Copies of this chain bind each other. A is one copy, B any other.
Amino acid sequence: MVPKRQSYRNLKSLGEAQDIFFSRFRDLLAATESIPVRAACGRQLVHAVKAVRSVPAYNASAVDGVAVRAASTFAAFQETPASLAAGTEAVPVNTGNPLPEGMDAVVMIEKVERLPHPSGDRYEVREAVYPWQHVRKMGEDIVRGEIILPARHVVRPYDQGALLAAGVNAVEVFRKPRVLVIPTGGEVVPPEEAPDPVPPGKILEVNGQMLVSLAAECGAECVLNRPVRDDLGTIKDSILGGVASGYDVVMTIAGSSAGSEDYTPAAFAELGELLVHGVTVMPGKPTLLAAVQGRPVVGIPGYPVSAAVSFREFVRPLLFQLQGRTAPEHPVVGAVVGRKIPSKPGVEEHVRVILGRVGGKVVAMPLGGGAGMLTSLVRADGILRIPATVSGLGEGEAAPVELLTSEKDLDGRLLVLGSHDLTIDLLASAVQEATEGRVTISSSNVGSMGGLLAVGKGVAHFAGSHLLDTDTGDYNRSWIRKHLPDADVALVTLVHRHQGLITPKGNPKGIAGVCDLVRPDVSLVNRQAGSGTRILLDYELGKAGIDAAAVAGYRNEEYTHMGVAMAVTSGRADVGMGIAAAAQALDLGFIPVARERYDLVIPTPLLDDPRIVLLLDIIRSDAFKAQVLALGGYEVGETGKIQLT
């Protein structure tokens, strides 16, 4: 196979592509159907609905009391009650009872007393009522013939009550758009059918489920096809089959780019009209938009983040449009960029960010990783759009962010930057569990130094740090004095942990210690500059008199302990410095090098913040410590202790 680059056939900007696509299908509406009101919650009315019955259906008592003719009470007062014959002049009624013939008002039960009388009981009425007082008048809520709900209204629970009360038992609504999702590619397999480990050359097909659920959130009914082979005929047949079966929208997944095995562009062009091939948005560029027999057909890119962008920008608005609605706008919050974000001019970039309200402003920290990083979608709190006319955003720049969460949720979100440690993930889960989701942690691994500086700049609530003072053997204090001389921060010890050299299981290359890192047959995976682990390794290399330039793979960097362990697992490297827990998690070899303290660096004023108070309670709890110990390679003797700075 000779890979051969074709070019995008019809590259458009995001706005142009949306205009072309939505205007092409402007007049396309999903079919309508009549459904029971009881099943109509969340559905969209086609027409205005008029009441068939009046509510109340008759004049009824609005209270418990006695029905009277108002005129017979006009002289009644607390001291001089009117006396009315029970059953003829004053008739007992409960709330909702029809007003007896001839009566036109009700006196509340508290204002009457029934007294026995030889010629029949009588009521003493101690209050005058005016005509129709305490009466729910026929039609006072709903009058037959009135419009009770406008066209295009989305039915809510209250509306269901009103419709049923008004004698309307069925309503005409737009049918849920029917969507077919066709994953393509010989390499993709449904995850339930894949062996473990996934054999090289096979990829789990997970975008389909994501798209099905996203479409369901837009009110569509979505069917996920089995993956189809990557050839022109099969892809064309699958699309045609979907259109012939009456699906309102067909989505294909993958093969939409311009590579040698990207058959979808040709399939779309041969079946109908290829409206757009390629959109200058990142991620999401290899998006295809087409019309096949009058139906919208969308080629969704194969990378999950690209797929998400493509769905959000094209399919979501379309699905609402098919139902005669406008997609609800995403809530937007004004944020300040916490770290420089580069972008390519000429391409609109959609950057996934985590957010936190720090010191009165909302800070947006970009999540790294390309279009293939599913976890960046999972972790993102919002999407920051960088226009095509701009080349990146600088630290401190203001920018609007579209929320993936609610703005209210931001109040409970703690933004944690700094060093990576597995116990931070444990802590995030424990906090969310203890607060029933009111307090959540969004974190980003920027290394210990990055975390310290973020706290100093007020772009993080707190940081995780384990910076060794090579003169004293202490952690963090001297670094804070040097880099944050004016900051008022507290150090709270989270854990002590064991760092060492992670090797494949059984240590096949017989690495004994840091001195072996210069061996020509040993390749290192390193951590990024500014991380505490990098500083530790450099310190250890220095102690051993080794020049970093002599270490193979020294520039091969990972951002997390798990990344290092994974590099060793996958054979990309023979050894790396990392925590014992990471080695244990992946069942790797571990040669202890140092025991270090890992602290949370918390601005002192925040120690009174109820969220931080709660966090410290959790850290100090036996349950949390037990979870930490279970990871292996940790000590909790000083966990939760506040270190003086």
Main secondary structure on chain A at its contact with chain B?
Answer: loop
Residue of B nearest to A37 (CB): B209
- Is A408 touching B191 in the complex (CB atoms < 8 A)? no
Q: Which of A1-31 contact B (CB under 8 A)?
A: 1-5
B-contacting 9-mer, from A323-331, A460-468, A478-486, A593-601: A323-331
Residue A642 at the chain B interface, CB threshold 8 Å: no
Asked if A150 contacts B432 (CB within 8 A), the reply is yes
A302: B residues at CB distance < 8 A: 95-96
CB distance from A23 to the nearest CB of B (A): 14
Interchain nearest-CB distance for A554 vs B (Å): 11
Query: A249 CA to B534 CA in the complex, in Å?
Result: 56
Nearest-Cβ distance from residue A189 to partner chain B, whole angstroms: 11
Q: How far is the CA of A148 from the CA of B132 in the complex (A)?
A: 64
Contact with B along A41-70 (1 / 0, CB 8 A): 100000010001111111100101110000
Contacts of A324 in B (CB 8 A): 433, 436
Distance A41 CA – B211 CA, assembled complex (angstroms): 12
A residues 335-378 with Cβ under 8 Å of B? 369-370, 372-375, 377-378
| A259 CB within 8 Å of chain B | yes
Any B CB within 8 A of the CB of A94: yes
- Which residue in chain B gives the minimum CB-CB distance to A326? B436
Is A308 a contact of B158 with CB atoms below 8 Å?
yes
Residues of B within 8 A of A164 (CB): 191, 204, 206, 209
Q: How many angstroms between the C-alpha atoms of A490 and B143 in the bound complex? A: 32
* Proximity string of chain A (198-235) to chain B, C-beta cutoff 8 Å, 1 when within and 0 when not: 10111110110111111011000000000000000000
In the bound complex, do residue A169 and residue B192 qualify as a contact, i.e. CB atoms below 8 Å apart? yes
Which residue on B lies nearest to A370, using beta carbons? B62
* Chain B residues whose C-beta falls within 8 Å of the C-beta of A331 in the assembled complex: 408
**Is there contact, CB below 8 Å, between B378 and A158?**
yes
Q: Does A159 contact B (CB under 8 A)?
A: yes
With contact pairs A150-B432, A203-B96, A259-B95 given, residues A210 and B161 touching in the complex (Cβ less than 8 Å): yes
Q: In the assembly, what is the distance between CA of A58 and CA of B197, in Å?
A: 9
Asked if A157 and B436 make an inter-chain contact with CB atoms under 8 angstroms apart, the answer reads no
Q: Check if B142 sits within 8 Å of A374, measured CB to CB.
A: yes
Q: Could you tell me the distance between the alpha carbons of A617 and B500 in the complex, rounded to whole angstroms? A: 75
How many angstroms from the CA of A139 to the CA of B576 in the assembled complex?
A: 15
Q: Please name 18 pairs of A and B residues whose Cβ atoms are closer than 8 Å in the assembled complex, sorted by A.
A: A1-B92, A2-B114, A3-B94, A48-B426, A52-B196, A53-B198, A58-B198, A131-B556, A139-B562, A139-B566, A143-B585, A153-B437, A157-B210, A157-B211, A157-B214, A161-B374, A165-B206, A325-B437
Q: A2-B114, A48-B425, A161-B210 are in contact. List 9 more A-B contacts (CB 8 A).
A: A3-B65, A3-B66, A62-B370, A96-B302, A137-B566, A144-B586, A154-B437, A162-B375, A329-B408
Q: List 4 tightest A-B contacts by C-beta distance, closest first.
A: A139-B566, A157-B213, A150-B429, A57-B198
